[in-house]
């Protein structure tokens, strides 16, 4: 099930234990003033590119974490200015040998730290999964080959997770990926395109970059109008993308029969990202005979994560996801 208010309070307390590394950041306090926020430094952080992320065109980029919550008991941080992409590791309480890479959303403008990131990881750890929360580079923040930056980070994250699987105590073949909103676009792109862009930088590059299975929650999929989420499209592809660029970065246009199984969930009353994005991805997967399970909920809006699911069938999506991961040998 999802997280009720009591669970959210517990989560906030638990996440405080991830660390207190203050980042140069500002956020909204309960009285509307601007206050410093913190990035949670977990017991373990894995840097994606220890020698520096490739293609950095802005040496003056400043990492910021903004606290958006007006409730002092519940965190809702948004992170941007990421120069050092990395994963936070949330170890399972009773490991079952599986793992989950979590990719939060944020419209490619920022990354939602808590609601779609750490709270999902905490839930996964309670199910026995070793969880990783990915904080990838944002394409509109001064990177060469901007459109490929997020998915490259996601694939690198899968490789590194598998590379460290022995030490972390899970089966490298049993890693799933979940992406929310724009993070769903990252996960979809990373799952349907195995082409290597970068020259190998270390032995982790020998690991497979495609997860065992992928879940997408209210995902951005198409970069083609009228389905495209305008803000994500602008930040990923720029103001005047070519038709070929739009197609190249629309995962539904690039599915092959080698894609992993997919779990799709979306609310039909989503006014931010049209449910037709999910329908298009489902149709593309079915056309290539790729296993896909789809759940379309009548209500839920956009960005519900594990918080706004306290009524109706929407509250069941975490249980549906867990059952699906068990079917595919991950959980």
pLDDT in tens, 148-167: 999 999 999 999 999 999 99
Q: What DSSP state is assigned to residue 97?
A: S
What is the rounded average pLDDT for all residues in the chain? Answer: 88
Backbone torsion region of residue 169, taken as left when φ is above 0, otherwise alpha when ψ lies between -120 and 50, otherwise beta = left
Confidence of residue 67 (pLDDT cuts 50, 70, 90): very high
Residue for token pair 């059952």: 323
Residue 328 confidence (pLDDT): 98
Residue 308 confidence (pLDDT): 72
Residue 309 confidence (pLDDT): 76
Q: Could you give the C-alpha distances from 58 to 13, 14, 102, in angstroms and in order?
A: 35, 35, 27
Residue 24 confidence (pLDDT): 30
Residue 20 confidence (pLDDT): 33
269, two tokens: 């009353």
Residue 195 confidence (pLDDT): 65
pLDDT(176) > 80: yes
Nearest to 193 by CA among 217, 219, 214, 162: 214
In sequence order, what DSSP letters do the residues of 125-172 get, joined into one string? HHTT-EEEEEEPPPTTTTBTTGGGHHHHHHHHHHHHHHHTHHHHTS-T
pLDDT(33) > 50: no
Q: What DSSP state is assigned to residue 221?
A: -
User: pLDDT tens digits for 261-301?
Assistant: 999 999 999 999 999 999 999 999 999 999 999 999 999 99
Of all residues in the chain, the percent with pLDDT exceeding 90 is 79
**Mean local confidence (pLDDT), 105-134:** 96
Domains in the chain (CATH in brackets) are 5-327 (3.40.50.1820)
Task: Kindly compute the dihedral angle of the four CA atoms of residues 223, 224, 228, 232, in this order, to the nearest 10 degrees.
Answer: 30
CB 227 within 8 A of CB 277: yes
Nearest to 182 by CA among 124, 134, 254, 243: 134
Residue 272 confidence (pLDDT): 97
DSSP-assigned beta bridge partners for residue 78: 66, 112
Q: Which pTM was predicted?
A: 0.89
Confidence of residue 2 (pLDDT cuts 50, 70, 90): very low
CB 279 within 8 A of CB 251: no
Query: What span, in angstroms and rounded, lies between the C-alpha atoms of 223 and 242?
Result: 11
pLDDT(41) > 70: no
Q: Look at strands 175-180 and 99-103 and give their pairing.
A: parallel
**Mean local confidence (pLDDT), 215-240:** 96
Backbone torsion region of residue 227, taken as left when φ is above 0, otherwise alpha when ψ lies between -120 and 50, otherwise beta = alpha
Nearest to 110 by CA among 231, 246, 262, 248: 231
* Angle, vertex CA 209, rays to CA 205 and CA 211, nearest 5: 150
Residue 7 confidence (pLDDT): 44
């Amino acid at each position: 099930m999802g997280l009720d208010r009591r669970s959210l309070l517990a989560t906030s307390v638990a996440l405080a234990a991830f660390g207190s590394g203050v980042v140069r950041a500002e956020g909204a306090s309960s009285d509307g003033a601007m206050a410093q926020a913190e990035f949670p430094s977990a017991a373990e952080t894995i840097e994606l590119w220890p020698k520096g992320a490739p293609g950095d065109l802005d040496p003056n980029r400043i990492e910021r974490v903004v606290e958006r919550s007006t409730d002092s008991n519940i965190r809702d941080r948004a992170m941007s200015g990421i120069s050092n992409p990395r994963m936070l590791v949330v170890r399972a309480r009773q490991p079952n040998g599986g793992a989950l890479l979590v990719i939060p959303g944020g419209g490619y403008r920022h990354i939602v730290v808590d609601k779609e990131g750490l709270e999902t990881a905490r839930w996964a750890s309670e199910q026995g999964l070793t969880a990783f929360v990915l904080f990838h580079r944002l394409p509109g923040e001064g990177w060469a080959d901007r459109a490929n930056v997020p998915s490259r980070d996601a694939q690198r994250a899968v490789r590194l997770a598998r590379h460290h699987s022995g030490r972390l105590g899970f089966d490298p073949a049993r890693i799933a990926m979940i992406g929310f909103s724009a993070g769903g676009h990252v996960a979809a792109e990373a799952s349907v395109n195995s082409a290597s862009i970068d020259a190998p930088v270390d032995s982790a590059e020998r690991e497979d970059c495609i997860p065992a299975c992928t879940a997408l929650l209210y995902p951005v999929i198409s970069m083609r109008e009228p389905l495209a989420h305008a803000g994500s499209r602008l930040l990923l592809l720029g103001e005047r993308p070519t038709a070929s660029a739009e197609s190249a970065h629309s995962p539904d246009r690039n599915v092959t029969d080698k894609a992993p199984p997919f779990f799709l969930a979306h609310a039909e009353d989503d006014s931010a990202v049209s449910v037709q994005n999910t329908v298009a991805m489902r149709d593309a997967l079915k056309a290539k005979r790729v296993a896909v399970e789809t759940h379309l909920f009548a209500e839920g809006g956009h960005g519900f994560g594990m918080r706004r699911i306290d009524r109706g069938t929407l509250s069941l999506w975490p249980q549906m996801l867990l059952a699906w991961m068990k079917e595919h040998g991950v959980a």
